[in-house]
């Protein structure tokens, strides 16, 4: 699958088949996260691959989303912003969140490429997840990703918004391009 196809077909899935994915495929998807841009090469992301059903049930309870219990695996994505903050001060907090998003997007696109399915879960009780997996206090739990094979295939995904509603030229909220003295 090429990148453009992965971008356009990736979608959130909450219904999984009983078929268990190969954990090695999930590790390859996590590996894709390593190639995301990181401020000053300060890699802040950590991932926990969970297959224990009791732990998966605790994640589902912490997220208040029962469908997670049906997943064969869950990936817990964490970031430790300390090195980035040490290097860039207060701006490092923003950079750490930005690079976490970039790493998780690489992960999601790789999941799609491997014909696996997931749903980005950002709502959960962080303390519960930290306690379950011995995650240090200064580490952020960014998201959890239940992983499996999609039970019901969706049809072609349509963009949620037209491009002309999000693209401006030279000035925010200007729809038409100004004449430039120099062409692009």
pLDDT bracket for residue 12 (50, 70, 90): confident
Distance from C-alpha of 59 to C-alpha of 64, rounded to nearest angstrom: 8
Tokens (6 digits) for 135: 């995650």
Give φ, ψ of 141 to 5 degrees. Answer: -85, 110
By C-alpha distance, which of 66, 96, 68 is closest to 80? 96
- For residue 174, pLDDT over 60 is answered with yes
132 vs 2 pLDDT, higher one:
132
pTM of the complete model: 0.87
Rg of the chain over Cα atoms, rounded to whole angstroms, equals: 19
Query: Is the predicted pLDDT of residue 17 greater than 80, yes or no?
Result: yes
Q: Which of 13-17, 55-59, 106-110 is predicted least confidently?
A: 13-17
The residue-averaged pLDDT of 112-116 equals 95
pLDDT of residue 155: 56
Per-residue pLDDT, averaged over 24-53, amounts to 95
Four-CA torsion 12, 94, 45, 1, nearest 10 degrees: 40
pLDDT, tens digit (0-9, with 9 covering 90-100), for 161-173: 888 778 887 788 7
Q: Which CATH number fits domain 3-153: 3.40.50.1780, 1.10.3720.10, 3.40.109.10, 3.40.50.2020?
A: 3.40.109.10
Q: Is 64 helix (H, G, I), strand (E, B) or coil?
A: coil
Can you tell me the mean pLDDT for 38-46? Answer: 91
What is the pLDDT confidence band of residue 9, given thresholds at 50, 70 and 90? confident
Rounded to 10°, the helix 23-33/91-113 angle is 140
What six digits make up the tokens of 36? Answer: 């995301």
First to last CA, the chain: 32
pLDDT(75) > 90:
yes
Burial 124-135 (b: 16+ CB within 10 A, else e): beeeebbebeeb
pLDDT at residue 166 in the model: 81
Average pLDDT, integer, range 51-64: 97
In the block, residue with structure tokens 């453009």: 4
pLDDT at position 164 is 79
Segment among 41-45, 97-101, 153-157 with least mean pLDDT: 153-157
Compute the distance between CA of residue 146 and CA of residue 9 in angstroms, rounded to an integer.
18
Give pLDDT, residue 183. Answer: 58
């Amino acid at each position: 699958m090429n990148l453009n196809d992965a971008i356009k077909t990736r979608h959130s899935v909450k219904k999984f088949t009983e078929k268990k994915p190969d954990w090695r495929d999930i590790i390859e998807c996590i590996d894709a996260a390593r190639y995301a841009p990181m401020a000053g090469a300060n890699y802040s992301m950590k991932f926990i691959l969970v297959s224990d059903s009791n732990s998966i049930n605790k994640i589902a309870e912490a997220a208040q989303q029962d469908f997670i219990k049906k997943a064969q695996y869950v990936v817990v994505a964490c970031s430790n912003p300390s090195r980035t903050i040490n290097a860039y001060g207060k701006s490092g907090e923003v950079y750490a969140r930005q690079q976490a998003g970039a790493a998780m997007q690489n992960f999601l696109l790789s999941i799609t490429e491997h014909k696996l399915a997931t749903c980005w879960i950002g709502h959960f009780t962080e303390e519960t997840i930290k306690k379950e997996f011995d995650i240090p206090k200064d580490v952020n739990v960014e998201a959890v990703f239940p992983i499996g094979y999609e039970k019901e295939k969706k049809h072609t995904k349509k963009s949620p918004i037209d491009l002309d509603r999000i693209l401006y030229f030279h000035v925010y909220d200007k729809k038409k391009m100004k004449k430039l003295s120099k062409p692009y």
